[in-house]
Amino acid sequence: MKVLVVYWHPEPQSFNGAMFRTACETLARPGNEVKTSDLHEMNFNPVSGRNNFTTVNDPNYFKQQTEEMHATEMKGFSADIESEIEKLEWCDLLILQFPLWWFGLPAVLKGWVDRVFAMGRTYGGGQIYEDGVYRGKRVLLSLTTGGPEEGYSEGVARGDMTAILLPIHRSMQFVGFNILAPQLVYGPVRMTDEEREQQLTTYAERLQNISDEPAIITLA
């Protein structure tokens, strides 16, 4: 199994950092290959613009999707974007590791999606959902929250976690990924060292059998 782990957190010693290292170490066993994108370490630029490309379709008016289609035809993606797209094309399993910030992906990881999921190369021309470019691949959202689990249930102010994650899951299904159940750690800052260690052990145990784990259904 070929695994790509894309991770962002501004503090390497964070619990997200520990989850990232746990995933990499657990999955790096015979029969698996692991590649990573540590976006903070890479100083990944999340801002889209002409910096996404080495080609130019319209020098007078920038429309990202048009330039993406042109770059797809002309092999004109910038080196940083081309490298990330190639990792996506290579992997069987994509893991996104992140803290939930403002009910979604943190800005750098969202910017990674905005820049790397390029029209023409990643979707378009009818290649969406069950006909998506990445059909047959799987994605796992692995994330932490600031609040406790009871704060993310149906009927409470924040809303239930399934609804919060649905836009992210839907975007992944749009390009063809099958969706695995998320790996959720609620409020690790509120836990003892022993509780955090148990969470990492539980995650590692899950990852040992992730190749056989069935996808969940997130869209009707």
Residue 219's pLDDT is 40
Distance CA 137, CA 92 (A): 5
Q: All domains of the chain, ordered by start, with CATH?
A: 2-212 (3.40.50.360)
Residue 156's pLDDT is 62
Distance CA 7, CA 85 (A): 15
pLDDT along the chain (220 residues), means of 10: 97 96 94 96 97 97 97 97 98 97 96 97 92 94 89 71 92 95 93 93 95 72
Rounded alpha-carbon distances, angstroms, from residue 124 to 36, 121, 133, 138: 26, 8, 9, 19
- Indicate if the alpha-carbon torsion angle 94, 41, 116, 145 is positive or negative: positive
Helix (H) / strand (E) element for 112: namely helix 107-116
Residue 158's pLDDT is 67
Q: Do residues 36 and 27 make contact, with C-beta atoms less than 8 angstroms apart? A: no
Residue 218's pLDDT is 47
Close Cβ partners of 63 (under 8 Å, ≥ 6 residues apart): none
Question: Tokens at residue 218, please?
Answer: 């997130």
